Amino acid sequence: MNQRVNEPLSAIAPAALPASTVDSLPPAPTIAAHPLQKTSVYVTQPVLPPLAEFLPYLEQIWDSKMLTNGGPFHQQLEEALCEYLGVPYISLFSNGTLALISALQALRVTGEVITTPYSFVATAHSLVWNGIKPVFVDIDPVTMAMDPARIEAAITPNTVAILPVHCYGYPCDVDGIQRIADLYGLKVIYDAAHAFAVRHRGNSLLNHGEMSVLSFHATKVFNTFEGGAIVCQDAKTKKRIDYLKNFGIADETTVVAPGINGKMSEINAAFGLLQLKGVDDAIAQRGIRDARYRQGLAGVPGIAVMTSIAGMEPNYSYFPIFVGPDYGRTRDELYFALRARDIYARRYFYPLISQFPMYRGVASAESDNLPVATRAASQVICLPLYPTLPLEQLDEIVNLIRDLPNP
């Protein structure tokens, strides 16, 4: 089991593949069962359609021999996602981190960018990969996202953009952020890795700011194994993003930027098309479990849950709880009590990004600057939540949380 901190995977390492020889083809490699696989509950489990439904897609790829470089499935998935999400333009990527890095490149962001410490490390890493200095500001205790008042106070002559995160899929204060961006001439790029399909005031949440970046990692609400995308608002910007994810190549003899290889392959795109058919059902199943947690945990002293933001249609991507002093046990006592029952909840987001060695040198990383985020990081546990989580197991988790303080 992978024990690295601040890391979205609860995956099990596959066994090494047996060596193949020309004469005796080995049987298909098997993946060793993890000893705890049968009984353990992880924070998430990826949604997979029946394998047989994927085979016709693979046959088409084998027939066409188009494996990547914007093939037919890539094209179809971009169109299908624009339609499903209600966004004008989307560019697929091989993962969300390369999409974040490329979004900043596309807008030529340099200097300083104001961002949140309460996120997955890729948010801030994407800045460092562009030679940009992250400036951390504190979060709002209701949305768990950047507090616009704190953004304004952190602006310097070097500030070029704002990189907020729709944390756990709950909308940021998009109006407050846009007002400041307009006032000071800043770009806004949303890390929307948690916000697939979230709607807000009847519109896609992904249509705010210059760009929104999605992740289709195995642990996210919609997955293509690995994958990601940038949503943007005009055709010219999409074109520039498409160059950047293909080495900066504009045509056979023209390279317009030092782009990267961030292209999504045909296998991932085809899988995305299949996944899209089941995503509404997956979100509905998540919603049932979200409601059951809320009901089960209501009135437990010291356990706080997030409340819906006005006008939001959620995707139920995570179920964070915050363990306060009234609970009678510490967050880590509860976390390890769950682990002792093979329930692998995760402390997202602890430690704060600003606590990691490559970030704690900047002045804005000081805990005194980030009191709300610091408290949240010390109290949070994300409980297991996925469409196939058995309700009995969910009830067991609720009972354990209720009973732990009064044995």
Count the alpha carbons within 13 Å of 239 in the hemisphere toward its beta carbon: 6
Alpha carbon of residue 302 to chain centroid: 27
Q: How many residues sit in the footprint of ligand PLP (CB under 6 A)?
A: 15
- Enumerate residues 2-21 that contact ligand PLP by CB under 6 A: 8
23-31, 91-99, 359-367, 382-390 -> range binding ligand PLP (CB under 6 A): 91-99
Tokens coding 313: 């249609």
Question: Which position among 74, 187, 194, 199 is part of the footprint of ligand PLP (CB under 6 A)?
Answer: 194
Q: How far is the CB of 382 from ligand PLP (least distance, A)?
A: 11
Tokens coding 399: 């009972």
CA angle 284, 290, 296 (to 5 degrees): 140
Question: Which position among 138, 191, 210, 242 is part of the footprint of ligand PLP (CB under 6 A)?
Answer: 191
- For ligand PLP, the closer CB: 327 or 348: 348
Structural contact between residues 222 and 201, judged by C-beta atoms closer than 8 angstroms: no
- Enumerate residues 20-39 that contact ligand PLP by CB under 6 A: none
Residues 202-221, one symbol each (x = binds ligand PLP by CB under 6 A, - = not), give -------------x-x----
Question: Which position among 120, 222, 327, 359 is part of the footprint of ligand PLP (CB under 6 A)?
Answer: 120
C-alpha–C-alpha distance, residues 230 and 212, integer Å: 6
Structural contact between residues 345 and 331, judged by C-beta atoms closer than 8 angstroms: no
- For ligand PLP, the closer CB: 132 or 303: 132
Question: Which position among 70, 71, 96, 171 is part of the footprint of ligand PLP (CB under 6 A)?
Answer: 96
Structural contact between residues 327 and 334, judged by C-beta atoms closer than 8 angstroms: yes
Angle at which helices 331-340 and 391-403 cross, to 10°: 130
C-alpha–C-alpha distance, residues 162 and 151, integer Å: 8
Residues 49-88, one symbol each (x = binds ligand PLP by CB under 6 A, - = not), give ----------------------------------------
21-29, 31-39, 189-197, 298-306 -> range binding ligand PLP (CB under 6 A): 189-197
Contacts of residue 58, Cβ cutoff 8 Å, sequence gap at least 6: 267, 270
Place of tokens 């993890």: 34
Q: Which residues bind ligand PLP (CB under 6 A)?
A: 8, 95-97, 119-120, 122-123, 165, 191, 193-194, 215, 217, 228
